[in-house]
Amino acid sequence: MAITHPSFGTLADDRIIIFDTTLRDGEQSPGFSMNLEEKLRMAEALHELGADVLEAGFAIASPGDFESVQSIAKRFSKDGPVIASLSRANTADIMASAEATKPAARPRIHIVLATSDLHMRVKLRMTREEVLERITQSVTLARNHAADVEWSAEDGSRSDLEFLCRCVEAAIKAGATTINIPDTVGYSLPADMHEIFSTLINKVPGAEKAIFSTHNHNDLGLAVANTLAAIQAGARQVECTINGIGERAGNASLEEVAMAVRTRHDALHAKTGITTPRILKTSRLLATITGFDVQPNKAIVGRNAFAHESGIHQDGVLKDASTYEIMTPESVGWSTNSIILGKHSGRAAFRDRLKTLGYEVGDNQLNDAFKRFKELADRKKVVYDEDIAALVDDEVVRGNDRIRLTGLNVSTGMGTKPMATIALEVDGDRVDGMATGDGAVDATFNALRNAFPHEVNLKLYAVQSITGGTDAQARVTVRMEENGKLVDGQGSDTDTIVASARAYVHALNKLLVKRERTEPPVVLRA
């Protein structure tokens, strides 16, 4: 039955609302934190992808979270996504969410309260009756500040179903317009999920007034399966994240849900507003920002997702791709032509290729990226789409960096102490550093500390190859920590040492942004 919602008007029966929580549930997992600029960039990309709701953060969690939610709320007009902020069921949280989302053209206050006996007894120390009362109070308060209010039953899938029905009824009565039932600990099986949603949608008085939403964690690898089971039982909002990032084993992956809905329309009878050819670009942007690539065999966006290795499969695909492909690579943003530009290619061809890959860059970014592309093409026989994407992501992500790597020289060999000299531009001024180390990377990082003195703990150093071959680009991730603040930096280059220096400088820049948000601006001088 068609439903009328304060943010979406009359919704067609088969329309699935995509509620993206990459910036909240995704961002709260260890190592995946993003700074404000990165969140804004991700929010733009998610809007271009077609996400209907962006959960921009948890406004009360910190001044930084509040600022992120507010900045994202200011960014979009009525044509943009609904902007949500998470709140526990108390006045301070709800008021923080109301305030932070106020600038949004379409704000949403999202309230969560646990409903399982275990959570109520151990965590909340509340009785069932107290929880019911709190639902009514908190949803009523939120509705005084926003027309669009979502209520979530934390640990809903492990809650007593009779009691859950009473909670949902109370939330709808108090004015909740979306009811979300999370599988918070990733425990449910698809059949459980189907039963929970069928029961709630068919039995709760007033259920027809709200949109039912599903939110699944992947502890048993069932997040997407549970999401699809909920859709089959009538859920019309799906909570998910790009690349499936999120607490512990993550959330349902947006790209997998969107493509399942599209590919299996015959069984699911539903559609999303996702522009699927933008999926790969959005996935890569997140990987670049966070420093975590997806595994090669990840559905939809993994490097091998459309690669056919066995002779029998290759033969079939050459005759007719549908023999072994249930969706086309182009439908999610992969290009069929993986060998692309070379050192003789011009700026126009480069710009054109970027456009095909989904990048719209300004003239300055284009110039910088083109310069790096030419350098790369000189060193590398074949430049693949993945190389170009890594290179442009580097430039786009680094647009506002205060420290830039301008030169690096390393001498190393058997029986000699590795030595590095480095040149940086710090707020436009050149500074140099020199140091030895236990290896080429160690010497390079020491030279960086010599050029720009600072004290941080190096927590992670990881190298990955972007494409195959000995001339492949390396992507390096560096994680550093200062006073409990963690940042990740990425760098790519055909030379692993240069990629390492780029990653280190990137992390350092992120740390400076983090410092500036909690302290007065630092004067950058070596």
Among ligand KIV, Zn ion, none, what binds residue 479 when CB lies within 5 to 8 Å by partner kind?
none
Residues 437, 441: Cα–Cα separation, whole Å: 8
Tell me the backbone φ, ψ of residue 98, rounded to 5 degrees.
-60, -45
Residues 254, 244: Cα–Cα separation, whole Å: 7
Among Zn ion, ligand KIV, none, what binds residue 112 when CB lies within 5 to 8 Å by partner kind?
ligand KIV
Residues 343, 383: Cα–Cα separation, whole Å: 9
* Binding interface with ligand KIV (CB under 6 A): 25, 86, 112, 152, 154, 180, 182, 184, 215, 217
Stretch that binds Zn ion, among 20-28, 143-151, 383-391, 500-508 (CB under 5 A): 20-28
Closest CA to 56 of 84, 87, 81: 84
Distance of closest approach, residue 184 Cβ to Zn ion, in angstroms = 6
For Zn ion, the closer of residues 11 and 54 by Cβ is 54
Residues 136, 344: Cα–Cα separation, whole Å: 67
217 annotated ligand binder: yes
Identify each DSSP E strand in 102-257 by its residue range: 107-114, 149-154, 178-183, 211-216, 237-240
Among ligand KIV, Zn ion, none, what binds residue 293 when CB lies within 5 to 8 Å by partner kind?
none
For Zn ion, the closer of residues 240 and 499 by Cβ is 240
Distance of closest approach, residue 251 Cβ to ligand KIV, in angstroms = 8
For ligand KIV, the closer of residues 155 and 393 by Cβ is 155
Rounded to 10 degrees, the C-alpha dihedral 334/340/345/348 comes to -20
215 annotated ligand binder: yes
For ligand KIV, the closer of residues 35 and 159 by Cβ is 159
Closest CA to 113 of 149, 83, 77: 149
Are the CB atoms for 135 and 170 separated by under 8 Å?
yes
Instruction: Tell me how far the alpha carbon of residue 205 is from its chain's centroid.
Output: 36
For ligand KIV, the closer of residues 60 and 391 by Cβ is 60
- Strand-pair partners of 435: 420
Residues 496, 454: Cα–Cα separation, whole Å: 23
Stretch that binds Zn ion, among 25-33, 404-412, 416-424, 456-464 (CB under 5 A): 25-33
Residue 183 interacts with Zn ion (CB under 5 A): yes or no: no
CB atoms under 10 Å from CB of 347, counted, come to 12
93 annotated ligand binder: no
Distance of closest approach, residue 107 Cβ to ligand KIV, in angstroms = 17
Contacting Zn ion (CB under 5 A), which of 7, 17, 25, 253? Answer: 25
Distance of closest approach, residue 250 Cβ to Zn ion, in angstroms = 9
Q: Which residue is nearest to Zn ion (CB)?
A: 25
For 432, 448, 517, 524, the CA distances from 426, given in Å and listed in that order, are 10, 12, 19, 7
Residues 178, 230: Cα–Cα separation, whole Å: 15
For Zn ion, the closer of residues 213 and 492 by Cβ is 213
Distance of closest approach, residue 26 Cβ to Zn ion, in angstroms = 9
Among Zn ion, ligand KIV, none, what binds residue 154 when CB lies within 5 to 8 Å by partner kind?
ligand KIV
110 annotated ligand binder: no
Gap between the terminal Cα atoms of the chain: 66
3-state helix, strand, coil in the chain (%, to 5): 45, 20, 35
For ligand KIV, the closer of residues 25 and 386 by Cβ is 25
For ligand KIV, the closer of residues 182 and 190 by Cβ is 182
Give the interface with Zn ion as residue ranges (CB under 5 A): 25
Q: Which residues are annotated as a binding site?
A: 25, 215, 217, 251
Residues of the binding site for Mn(2+): 25, 215, 217, 251
